[in-house]
Amino acid sequence: MQAIIPDYRRDLEIRRYPPYVYVLVPLVALVLQAWLPRLLGRYAYMDLPVLVTVYFALNRRSPIHGSVLGALLGMAQDGLTHGAIGIHGIANTICGFLAASVGIRIVVENNIIRMLLNFVFSLTAGAIVLFVTRILLGLHMQVDWLDEVLHAVGNAGIGLILFPILDLTQSRD
């Protein structure tokens, strides 16, 4: 419990990144998300745009920043699919907002906490996509929940490696 609740000012500091990181990292995430399934086929269990949204939202600790980044990344993700623009946008917006809200309240340095958060937010994004598609749009879309869980597990695993690498890019005051 001591590790989760922030005790020091250092734990709640807002991390800042050079502007190019905000451009390059989401772009690389989009490109890899579109390109890697060619190599991995159906085993491409990952959702890199959600991962990047959650990372910046957790570390910036700004719900507005997280929501806007999530919306932009999600809409770009939608632009690459053949579905309506906004399905992943809404999912990533909510995930960004929630991740930033969580980041304000708990310490997110711990790898296990990061892994758990990635797992939960990936599943949340999948559930929101399903809600928007089925309820808001009234489209008939079947979902393989095992597939969604595997995506969440994949995201949690990738986050363990990716987050420490992205930590290296933050600006030092």
Min separation Cβ 81 and other proteins, Å: 4
Q: Which residues bind to other proteins, rule: CB under 8 A?
A: 27, 30-31, 33-35, 37-38, 41-42, 44, 48-49, 63-64, 67-68, 71, 75-90, 93-94, 97, 101, 129, 132-133, 136-144, 147, 151
Structure tokens belonging to residue 69:
């980044």
Closest distance of CB 65 from other proteins, Å: 10
What span, in angstroms and rounded, lies between the C-alpha atoms of 110 and 15? 16
Cα–Cα distance for residue pair 100/81, rounded to 1 Å: 27
Q: Nearer to other proteins by C-beta: 115 or 129? A: 129
User: Mind giving me the DSSP string for 20-64?
Assistant: HHHHHHHHHHHHHHHHHHHHHGGG----HHHHHHHHHHHHH--HH
In whole angstroms, how close is the CB of 80 to other proteins at the nearest point? 5
Minimum gap (Å) between residue 40 Cβ and other proteins = 9
Distance CA 125, CA 153 (A): 13
Q: Which is nearer to other proteins, 68 or 153 (CB)?
A: 68
